[in-house]
Homo-oligomer: A and B are copies of this chain.
Amino acid sequence: MKIAEATVARLVMYHRLLCRLNDEGQRVVSSNEIGEILGVKASQVRKDLSYFGEIGKRGVGYHVGRLYDHLEEILSTPGKWKMALVGVGHLGSALLGYKAFDTAKYGIEVLFDKDPQKIGSEMYGIPCYNIEEARIVTKEHGIQIIILAVPPGVAQECIDTVLQDTGVKGILNFSPTSIIVPDNVLVYNVDISVELEKLLFYLKQTMINI
């Protein structure tokens, strides 16, 4: 069962919306309403949800609490994922401050940098270690996921170090470069300038077509 990335992304959005509706005390929601709020076709919403066994009642919709619980279960994790942030420069600091990486499902346990001023200190209560010690610290702390936010020139080197003989299983790569990893490690790239280039590419096409 290989589920498309776009489907998973929509599940995350449905889950987030259902969480809000549940908090607001709404009891039922239609696929039209979900689609309207999220900018997704109602037919797509029904297709996605029915794939996971959720069939709305015609003319009524889905039961908010039940659908929320189901999505919560689909997106649940076996435990709390332990993450390390590698690179605490401009972007890394922002990711830390942004608090997007601190939930019941996952949290950043350790930081790595090469700046002597940062090494040995704490940021948001999280200790920062020398990147040279990354392999040992990663292993000791049982880190499973790496958030990579280093300059492109040192990205591969950093990754080679933390993957060596450790339990790292996944990488969220914010460095604007490709990294090579063994087959048993998953990598997701969040390349901000690629996203912008995509937007510009389609904007140009739209303008040419006008």
Residues of A bordering B, CB below 8 Å? 1, 3, 5, 8-9, 11-13, 16, 37-39, 75, 77-78, 81, 90-91, 93-95, 97-98, 100-101, 105-106, 144-145, 169-170, 172, 176, 178-180, 186-188, 190-207
Contacts and interface: CB of A to CB of B under 8 A. Distances in A.
A38 B202 contact: no
Given A94-B93, A98-B91, A188 B178 contact: no
Given A1-B205, A13-B178, 12 more contacts: A5-B198, A8-B202, A12-B198, A39-B180, A77-B200, A77-B204, A94-B94, A95-B192, A100-B193, A169-B203, A170-B203, A172-B199
A207 B78 contact: yes
A192 B191 CA distance: 10
B199 A145 contact: yes
A100 B187 CA distance: 21
A100 B196 contact: yes
Contacts of A180: 37, 39
A104 to B, nearest CB: 12
Instruction: Please name the 7 residue pairs, one residue from A and one from B, whose CB atoms are nearest each other, closest first.
Output: A94-B94, A90-B97, A12-B197, A188-B199, A100-B193, A38-B178, A12-B194
A21 B180 CA distance: 18
A120 B68 CA distance: 44
A98 B200 contact: no
B13 A194 contact: yes
A130 to B, nearest CB: 23
A94 B100 contact: no
28 contacts: A3-B205, A8-B197, A9-B198, A12-B193, A12-B194, A12-B197, A16-B176, A38-B178, A39-B178, A75-B200, A77-B200, A77-B204, A81-B200, A81-B203, A90-B94, A91-B94, A91-B97, A93-B94, A94-B94, A94-B97, A94-B98, A106-B196, A145-B199, A169-B203, A169-B207, A170-B202, A186-B206, A190-B192
